[in-house]
Structure 1
Amino acid sequence: MKTKILILLAFLSLLSCQNTKKTSSKENTPTYKININKGSGKFIIEGGHNKADSIVIHYYKPSNFSKTSDVVYVIPGGGRNGDDYRDSWIEKAEEYNVLVLSPEYNEKNYPEFWNYNLAGMYKDVKINQDRTAIESFRISNNPKEWIFNDFDRIFEEVKGNLDLNTDTYDMFGHSAGGQILHRFAIFNSNNKASRILAANSGWYTEPTDSDEFPYGLKGTIQSSEKIDYSSELIVFLGEKDDAYETRGSLRRSPEADKQGLGRLSRGKYFYNSSKEITSQFKKNTTGN
């Protein structure tokens, strides 16, 4: 297998390419109606574990939209402001005739980083009285408890509603959204995403068995041998988003700082580490 993890500093080329990923013809049957009109709007669907939560999906449907149009998810950062992220893609959505979907996982149902950034893979979390450290938690190894499952299901409902020809979608996630997406590529490779673009993540889960989750795979049902290294995960980094950048919050811990002191260095660390692990995996499986 060959990795397609890349380091890039721009993202507008995403919408100018055609999807090439093939998927199974088996589809989930939509269970409820949604309305998507031209222009900006939103709809509410069920999501999360056992579809127990309500998720607002902010969308933009371009004026020349057709059955052959592509679909892109835009996953918000920690502010969960899906409407703003949707709005930032309107110009390019019109130019390239792409349907934009931006899911809003509100802070009422997903209040902490383990609910959102970690996609629900931490459960039963207890923090100390000063809220400065996690005292205990368990790692969820039940994929049904992760929010990763929502993306294919939402896509299938939208596809059925609009009678789309495409079998795949692209994804762009920024900051906390980028954290969700690189973990989505690692832990949920059996999906209908064509290209997964993780931008400016604050820190990363490396595809290594030696480090404890969330910095590595240890303690999870995933292992470096089971990862789909053919997934097209693209890492976007800002060249000025370095250790001197003071805007926004950045996780500080010995494990996170091992990856670097800024988003730029941490992204490069993840890329280089993943490249080395992939190379070793290829050598072990081919004997070359």
Structure 2
Amino acid sequence: MSEFTLAEGAGSFVFRDDGAAPSPRSMRVFSFCPRSSHRHTRIIVAMHGVDRAAAEFRDLLAPQAERNGQIVLVPEFDPDQFPGVHAYNFGGVRRPPPDNAVLPRDHWNFGVIDRLFHDVRRTIGSSRDTFGLFGNSAGAQFVLRYLALNEAASVDLAVAANCGCYMLPDLTKDYPDGMGGIGLDECHLRRYLTRLLVILLGDADNDPEDPHLPRWDEAMAQGPHRLARGLWHFQHCTELARSLGVTLGWKLQIAPGAGHVDQLIYDQGADILNG
């Protein structure tokens, strides 16, 4: 367990993750605490982008969090401890190619989110049993995989914004493109599709020439740009839920005029998570 105080305004602290496997590790968490904070204040865990710029991401979320009265926690998945997309975006489920070996479940990186929330909750004396989860771009890829592969019992609502490529709820496609080959079954698909999740898309995130747009074959099959891919994926999952006989828990929201990295996205995400 970590020992720290959550100061008003912007700050940071070191979270000692004693539950990490194969051994404990520490990670820095960038925080924001509103002036109106009390024991019932809403807590949001936010996942930064591929740039790993956790402090800057916290600063972008802070203005709306102050207006809404929300605590924001941005854990820093630094590239030394979590190198590459396989260790961050994809959750450390498999080793990177050419190995591709599936790691033991307790080595996956998703559990740090729950442990961080419960550590902060205990430290500040919060009455909150659940938290909101937000991610943009690479952070959204982490959010979606976290919801799909884990119990995630402490998350009451999640927002995944402007994903570049979507993992398919498909057990015939190997992870990370699908959900196959890592010990999951149809119960996991059903649970994933019933999550309380908002897919948030900027309607100006529509540049097919964006140099950071994923371009591997599976990504290109989903559409020419992020907006098209998000719309396609939401429709695909709507039809999949219907075929499985479950009620889709997801909602689709469009941020008018918002691009890929855009304050409009961050503000709308914070508002959605305000309930």
Residue in structure 2 matched with residue 23 of structure 1 by the alignment:
none
Once residues 70 and 115 of structure 1 are traced to their aligned partners in structure 2, the CA distance between those partners, rounded to angstroms, is 29
Cross-structure match for 1:14: none
| Equivalent of residue 233 in structure 2, options 249, 267, 270 | 270
Query: Equivalents in 2 of 1:145, 1:269: separation in Å?
Result: 32
Cα distance between partner residues in 2 of 1:85 and 1:268: 25
1:100 to 65, 72, 94: 72
1:233 to 173, 188, 197: 197
One-letter amino acid of the structure 2 residue matched with residue 139 of structure 1: V
2:206 alignment partner, one of 242, 247, 253:
242
| Aligned mates of 1:243, 1:281 — CA distance in 2 | 34
Q: Which runs of 4+ in 1 moved over 3 A?
A: none
Distance 1:108 1:88 in 2: 24
Superposed, 1:162-173 pairs within 5 Å as 162-173=124-135
- Aligned positions of 1:177-192 closer than 5 A: 177-192=139-154
**Alignment match of 2:158 (pick from 177, 182, 196):** 196
The CA deviation string for residues 201-253 of structure 1, in whole angstroms up to 9 with x for no partner, is 1111111122221111121222333331321121111112124352x512222
Contact 2:134–2:159, Cα closer than 8 Å, also in 1:
yes
Equivalent residue number for residue 15 of structure 1: none
Residue equivalent to 1:42: 12
Structure 2 unaligned segments of length 5 or more: list them: 247-275
Distance 1:226 1:108 in 2: 31
- 2: CA distance, partners of 1:94 / 1:67: 16
Aligned pair count reads 242
AA of the residue aligned to 1:71: I
What is the root-mean-square deviation of aligned Cα atoms in Å? 1.6
TM-score, normalized by length of structure 2? 0.83
Q: Distance in 2 between matches of 1:170 and 1:32?
A: 21
Match of 2:59 in 1: 87
Richer in helix (by share) = 2
Comparing 256-265 with 95-104, greater Cα deviation is found at 256-265
Q: CA deviation at 1:43?
A: 0.6
Q: What are structure 1's unaligned runs of at least 5 residues?
A: 1-30, 126-133, 284-288
- Give per-residue Cα distances to partners, 1:111-158, cap 9 Å, x unaligned: 2100000010122x3xxxxxxxx4331123x32111110111111111
Distance 1:259 1:232 in 2: 23
Which residue of 1 is the match for residue 178 of structure 2?
A: 216
- Identify the match of residue 42 of structure 2 among 58, 64, 70: 70
